[in-house]
């Protein structure tokens, strides 16, 4: 997990809301991906991505085969449905919706080790050179290349990917 905005403690201001709304609209226009912009009406929203990242780390450690389903459910719940995935009760409901036991999830989610593992993910992502999301990385042994940063269609990145694979 990359942690786009981990640890934020202040409500987002008009400048941040405007910037993020612009990015979401651009992604929606380019991809057709649905976005619910209701979150922008909540001026007290604290855009902290750490809880969602920790939720995914929890599921990844509990049931690795459900990690991708959790990722997709988190994305859909926040972007398409406009729900607040900084809230533990929302995160536990998402975990339950993909078949993860709610109480087991909550125990792991609230455990200090899970917080440490999540922070380790953030450090690893920074060490790879990731500065934006979504991001596509290519890795060969110890060598990692940031292929894209920010949304791009597959047709836009295919030539770069092909070049990397042939190198």
The model's pLDDT over 125-162, given as tens digits with 9 standing for 90+, comes to 888 888 878 888 888 888 888 888 888 888 988 998 89
pTM of the model: 0.86
SS3 for 100?
coil
Provide CATH code, domain 1-127.
Answer: 1.10.472.60
- State the Cα–Cα distance between residues 21 and 41, nearest whole angstrom: 11
The helix/strand/coil state of 98 is: coil
- Rounded to whole angstroms, the Cα distance separating 157 from 148 reads 7
% of the chain with per-residue pLDDT over 90: 59
Domain ranges across the chain = 1-127, 129-167
| Nearest residue to 78 via CA among 5, 152, 156, 137 | 5
CB 94 within 8 A of CB 85: yes
């Amino acid at each position: 997990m990359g942690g786009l905005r981990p640890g934020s403690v202040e409500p987002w201001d008009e400048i941040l809301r405007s910037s993020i709304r612009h990015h979401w609209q651009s992604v929606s226009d380019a991809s057709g991906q649905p976005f619910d912009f209701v979150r922008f009406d909540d001026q007290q929203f604290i855009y902290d991505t750490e809880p969602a990242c920790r939720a995914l780390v929890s599921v990844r450690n509990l049931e690795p085969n459900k990690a991708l389903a959790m990722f997709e459910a988190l994305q859909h719940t926040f972007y398409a449905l406009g729900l607040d995935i900084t809230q533990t009760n929302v995160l536990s409901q998402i975990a339950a919706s993909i078949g993860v036991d709610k109480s087991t999830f909550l125990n792991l989610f609230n455990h200090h080790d899970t917080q440490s593992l999540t922070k380790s993910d953030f450090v690893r992502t920074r060490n790879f050179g990731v500065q934006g999301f979504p991001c596509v990385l290519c890795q060969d042994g110890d060598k990692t290349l940031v292929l894209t940063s920010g949304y791009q269609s597959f047709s836009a990145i295919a030539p770069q990917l092909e070049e990397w694979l042939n190198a």
